[in-house]
Amino acid sequence: MFRPNFSYNNDIVNKLLEINSIRDFIVNAPVVMDIEVSLKREALLKSAHHSTAIEGNPLSLNQVDKLAQGLKIRAQKKGEQEVLNYLNVLKNLDKYPEEGKITEKTILKLHENITHYTLEYTYLEGHYRTIPVYVVNKNGDVVFTPPPDNLVPQKMQNFLDWINKLSGEFNPVIVAGIIHYEFVRIHLFVDGNGRTARALATLYLHMKEFNVDFTLDEYYDNDRQAYYDALNSVDLVTQDLTKWLEYFLEGFLISISEIKDRIILFPVDAQKKMRLSPKHLKIIEYIRLNGSITNSEVQKLLNISRQGAYKDLRGLMDKELIEKKGGSRSTYYILKSNK
């Protein structure tokens, strides 16, 4: 059975307290709907850009933005595909848990979608490695040897059993940090382990309703050597995660603090304060990213009935945030131009 080894020192405890305090502030802040949606979109774009950039993707943030809008860019096909894959995964996190749990199927599907049409051999998508792999530095020196491939399935199952049996004894942020490291340590796949590890940590926080729109990937990408050094700080014998978690929480605190600062500086007109329900916010986000939405798309997005979708769309129309377009058989909804 997997059991994480780390110490709750003053640094870790203080950072957790500050992170929770900032999260509470952000969640309860009466921000204008426009900035709330803007923060979500920015977090999505930055996550896709920086997480793929860490692995060598050459696309700029501006190019990622254009891809998200469905525009054409000049770039190698693989680079485009990596970014589009990551964007699609982050936009559809709700589809991955199996009955509220992270299962082997969740992991394999996540990897398959992240690496779709980007690996040398497509049969490697969503399949555990069956060969030894080594982690090397920029000089080609082996810095880490993951477990033998025949041990990968059992080690991952032990880890998943631990995750799914947790009942509040660990802060979700701590668990996300442990997930990130342990996934990289086991190194389940021939390629795409880093992106999948970071997406999995994001998925876990999403499942635990840590609903703050920021990205840790930018923190990692800004100093990649520090990121790799932190991952390599774990003693291979004792598996003491304390130093890694200190680094992880430092990045978490810096990233979430930037969102708090943005909200504080944003001039809020008292007449425009609007807190949307999670369902309504998802609909607005979808329209912002895709230009419009239909009733059937709302049904798929929220996993609700046609009547439920109409009720939510009607609610947004009553708030004068969206408007209906098209005929009876081709009805779609867009954002109101005066909002």
Rounded CA-CA distance 22/210 in Å is 12
265, 289, 309 — which closes off a domain?
265
Cα dihedral across residues 267, 268, 271, 276: positive or negative: positive
Q: Are residues 148 and 185 in the same domain?
A: yes
In a domain, residue 1? The reply is: no
User: Beta strand pairing status for 332-335 and 135-136?
Assistant: unpaired
Nearest to 197 by CA among 277, 280, 86: 86
240, 265, 290 — which closes off a domain?
265
Q: Are residues 19 and 158 in the same domain?
A: yes
Q: Are residues 302 and 220 in the same domain?
A: no
Q: Are residues 152 and 285 in the same domain?
A: no
CATH number of the domain that residue 313 is part of? 1.10.10.10
In a domain, residue 121? The reply is: yes
In a domain, residue 4? The reply is: no
Structural domain of 114: 10-265
- The DSSP symbol for 175 reads H
**Which of 22-36, 278-292, 306-320 bottoms out in mean pLDDT, i.e. has the lowest?**
22-36
**Total of domains in the chain:** 2
pLDDT digits (tens, 9 = 90+) for 214-247: 899 999 999 998 998 999 899 988 999 999 999 9
In a domain, residue 272? The reply is: no
Q: At 39, is the pLDDT very low, low, confident or very high (cuts 50, 70, 90)?
A: confident
Give start and end residues of each alpha helix (H) in the chain: 10-28, 33-54, 61-68, 77-91, 104-115, 152-165, 172-186, 193-207, 217-222, 224-231, 242-265, 278-290, 295-302, 306-318
In a domain, residue 88? The reply is: yes
pTM for the structure as a whole? 0.82
Supply the pLDDT for residue 275: 66
Q: Are residues 213 and 315 in the same domain?
A: no
